[in-house]
Every structure is written in structure tokens, then in C-alpha cells.
Amino acid sequence: MIIWFIIFFAILSISLVLAYLSMRDYQEIPKLEKEYGIFLVRRTEFFTIQTLETILDLCKGKILSFERLFKGNSRAFVIFGPKKILQGRFSEILGLLELEDYTKVPGEAVAWEVEKRDVGFGESNIFNSLPYLKDDEQFFWQLVTNGNQGQIKAVFISQNSVRKKTLTPQLETIGEKYLKKVPRPHTYSQIFEDYRQRIFVPSLAFKLKTDEILKITGLPHK
């Protein structure tokens, strides 16, 4: 009888471990082609905390991605999310313009993941210290969220190996008072591909407050 109890608990323990490993590696991947779209926000002054809260409420259960794009002196803000909701409710107020995949650009990419430190965010714009970029250099910054948790990925693209070696360490320390690079054993190409697909892994995400979305994307905190 004791042997059967031992066998039962051994099987139960193995099942729990396998379940944990399965959940740890679980990924949420949005359906890129039909349900989701990428939109340029042309009226960022209306992307307030109230607008954001409405978007999160309407998109509950969906993956959203808030992205900052930098090329030379140009800057842009992009939202990736459900087309029906974003176009139907926010197209006019935010001046949304649907885009094609903007990540298909020449040059080798350096990519890394970022996580939030266990400190409160200040009011300063984390991109104030962004180094000077040439017109053929691009920096992408992405916050993927399910509403309560978030994951950050960053990508730097330059065809100049010297510039890449010089600027990458500076870009990796953006918002270093509140954020830090994640030392995970993923290749640049793997992280960049996850960026493209807006992959979200709940077990690797950090807790996220609504106002922190604005601060992590470097937008006015209203």
C-alpha cells in the first residue's frame, strides 16, 4: 500500500513539474494578418492616460504593443493592436494611419530585452538621453502588454560596425534608473523576430501600471 502512495506522489510531482515548465515557456502570439494592425499615431497629444485606459479596457484579453521609432532626428509613436477597436474608436482622435511592417530595413540589427527595476518611475522622459543617430540609423523600442504585465524589447540598426559598437552600450542604458537590460541567452535575431511578431511571454513579464506605459514609451504623462 505504501508503495502505491509513493508511486502516486511521484507521478503527481512529475506532472506538476511538467506543467510548470509548460507554463514558463508559454507564449502569446497575436494574429498578425487579419485581426491585428500596426498604426502610426499622428496626434500623440491626445494619447493621454484617459485614452490609454479606454484602449486597455476595450482590448482586455488582447495583446497590445506600444512602440517608439527613431531614425536620425525623426521620431514616431506606433500602436499595434486589434484593428476593429483601434480603427473604430480611436482613428480620428489619434489620427491613426495603418502601416506596413516597418522592420524590414537594411543593416544588421542588435537587439536586447529590458525589464523594469523595482523602483517607481520619475517624471523625466527616458529618451532625453538618446544619443545622436544618423539618417541611416534606426532605433526601435517596444512595450508589449496584456494590460497588467509588460515586456520591453529594443533594436538598433546601423550599417556602420564602429557606430554600432559605440552606440549600443549607450542605448542599452536608456532609463537606467528605472530600467535594466535583461541578460538572457537569446541571439539578436531571435529577439528581433520576437519583436516583429509581438510575442508576449507572461512568465517573463513584469508587473505594469497604466501610467508606466506612458512613461516607458516616453510620452507626456497626462
Whether 12 maps to a domain, the answer reads no
Whether 221 maps to a domain, the answer reads no
Question: CA–CA separation, 214 vs 167, rounded Å?
Answer: 25
Whether 23 maps to a domain, the answer reads no
Q: What is the pLDDT of residue 74?
A: 95
Question: CA–CA separation, 189 vs 211, rounded Å?
Answer: 31
Whether 17 maps to a domain, the answer reads no
Q: What is the pLDDT of residue 27?
A: 59
Whether 203 maps to a domain, the answer reads yes
Total count of domains within the chain = 1
Q: What is the pLDDT of residue 33?
A: 56
What predicted TM-score, i.e. pTM, was given to this entire model? 0.85
Q: What is the pLDDT of residue 117?
A: 92
Whether 9 maps to a domain, the answer reads no
Whether 63 maps to a domain, the answer reads yes
CATH classification at residue 160: 3.40.462
pLDDT per residue as tens, the chain (222 positions): 566 545 545 454 554 444 444 444 555 666 555 799 999 999 999 999 999 999 999 999 899 999 999 999 999 999 999 999 999 999 999 999 999 999 988 888 999 999 999 887 877 789 988 999 999 999 999 999 999 999 999 999 999 999 999 999 999 999 999 999 998 778 999 999 999 999 999 988 999 999 999 999 998 665
Question: CA–CA separation, 105 vs 195, rounded Å?
Answer: 14
Q: What is the pLDDT of residue 21?
A: 41
Whether 172 maps to a domain, the answer reads yes
Rounded to an integer, what is the distance from CA 169 to the centroid of its chain?
19
Question: CA–CA separation, 143 vs 195, rounded Å?
Answer: 9
Range of the domain at 183: 36-216
